[in-house]
């Protein structure tokens, strides 16, 4: 896993910079959103801050950016037309949270009936 990647070798920093290709669905000066390379649902988008933050555990004191990331996640879900059918927002932290990429991202999942199980 690359959860301890530094900014220089972070795949999501490279995506945010446009250095590696991604299927983008949203971008502003603080936040990017792009389709997951290995989608677990018909709609599976990752919402990430441009700034290298390892996980939500490191963002708890930045409520402004936390709010921006979550607001973009909702915007993406609505743009994917998921409001009526429903969707899930999820973010993982650390080993037991099964985080595999060490740059904060919120998963937007929808387009099928998701399991009620969370782990």
Binding site for ligand 5GP (CB under 6 A): 11, 22, 34-38, 46, 92, 98-101
Other beta carbons within 10 angstroms of residue 90's beta carbon come to 13
Residue 98 C-beta: closest distance to ligand 5GP, Å = 6
Tokens 């990017």 locate to: 32
Strand, coil or helix: what is 2? Answer: strand
Residue 103 C-beta: closest distance to ligand 5GP, Å = 8
Is-contact 76 26, C-beta < 8 A? yes
Active-site entry in 44, 93, 103, 105: 105
Give catalytic status of residue 105 as yes or no.
Answer: yes
Other beta carbons within 10 angstroms of residue 69's beta carbon come to 24
Residue 114 C-beta: closest distance to ligand 5GP, Å = 14
Which listed option, ligand 5GP, Zn ion, none, makes contact with residue 115 (CB within 5 to 8 Å by class)? Answer: none
Which residues are at the interface with Zn ion (CB under 5 A)? 10, 12-13, 52, 103
Which element (helix H / strand E) includes 79?
A: helix 63-79
Residues forming the active site: 105
């Amino acid at each position: 896993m690359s959860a301890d990647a530094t900014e220089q070798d972070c795949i999501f920093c490279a995506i945010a910079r446009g250095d590696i290709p991604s299927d983008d669905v949203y971008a502003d000066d603080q936040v990017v959103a792009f389709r997951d390379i290995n989608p677990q649902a018909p709609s599976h988008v990752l919402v990430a801050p441009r700034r290298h933050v390892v996980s939500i555990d490191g963002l708890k004191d930045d409520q402004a950016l936390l709010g921006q990331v979550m607001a973009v996640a909702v915007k993406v879900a609505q743009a994917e037309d998921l409001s009526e059918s429903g969707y899930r927002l999820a973010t993982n932290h650390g080993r037991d949270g099964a985080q595999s990429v060490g740059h904060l991202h919120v998963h937007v999942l929808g387009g099928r009936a998701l399991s009620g199980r969370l782990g």
